Amino acid sequence: MTQVTDQAAREGFWSDCCGRHLPTEIGAQIRGVLERDGTLVIFAASAAWCARLRYALQELDPQIREAAPQLTAIAVRVQPRA
């Protein structure tokens, strides 16, 4: 149960972080965020938004690494709404 609670807290942290630092139109297309095995995985609404998000995250990389030095990679994946 603790692992689920911790993951939910981390997801909330990263969602808030992305919402504050990314342009509104890009942040609105994020479908989920999770940390897994040292990788921050951010899910976007479409392949086009994935590309825009990847470029935007390059500018945020220093802040992300500062907030979570344990991360070894950042990945962006597609997760369209059901």
Residue-range definition of the domain harbouring residue 49: 2-78
Tokens in use for 23? 């342009």
Taking residues 69-81, report their average pLDDT: 90
pLDDT of residue 1: 63
Q: Which amino acid is at 1?
A: M
Coil, helix or strand for 56? Answer: helix
Q: pLDDT category, 12, cuts 50, 70, 90?
A: confident
Domain count within the chain: 1
Nearest to 17 by CA among 79, 67, 75: 67
Coil, helix or strand for 18? Answer: helix
9 CB burial (10 A radius; 0-12, 13-18, 19+): exposed
The CA-based dihedral angle spanning residues 11, 43, 72, 63, taken in that order and rounded to the nearest 10 degrees? -70
Mean of pLDDT over the chain: 88
Q: pLDDT category, 77, cuts 50, 70, 90?
A: very high
